[in-house]
Structure 1
């Protein structure tokens, strides 16, 4: 019973990761589940707001660096 049990356990240990890898690399599955979920969580309107916020922060940082550089000169 010991060898059969060990073989069964090894098959289970190897099958699960290979099956998960295979499922997660299916293009249809990825499009249906992952991309759709991403669109639900972060709709394009929110992404635009985030990009605008990042741009404002970048501009402020650049202005601060310019002021600091001018003061140190």
Structure 2
């Protein structure tokens, strides 16, 4: 019984690191998971410029509406 337990332990101790190494070095997995996750966190600059311009336009419209509303109330 003791030998079977030791064989099981040794198999487990060797299989886990080898499996993790094999999984981590899969090129398809790296591209699908890591690169897509990175792009989600830090989008390319083109997207950032477009989002910034949209944000500026929204703020400009809000200010114009606020000024127009204030002007209408004072009239």
Provide TM-score, normalisation by structure 2. Answer: 0.58
Structure 1 CA distance, aligned partners of 2:19 and 2:6? 20
Residue number in structure 1 paired with 2:40: 40
1:15-70 per-residue CA deviation (whole Å, 9 max, x = no partner) reads 0000000011000000000111011011113xx89xxxxxxxxxxxxxxxxxxxxx
Number of matched pairs: 47
Structure 2 CA distance, aligned partners of 1:33 and 1:17? 20
Q: Which 4+ residue blocks in structure 1 deviate beyond 3 angstroms?
A: none
Residue number in structure 2 paired with 1:21: 21
Structure 2 CA distance, aligned partners of 1:34 and 1:11? 30
Q: Which consecutive residues of structure 2, in runs of 5 or more, have no partner in the other structure? A: 50-75
Larger radius of gyration: 2
Q: Which consecutive residues of structure 1, in runs of 5 or more, have no partner in the other structure? A: 50-73
Equivalent positions of 1:1-73 (< 5 A) are 1-45=1-45
RMSD: 1.8
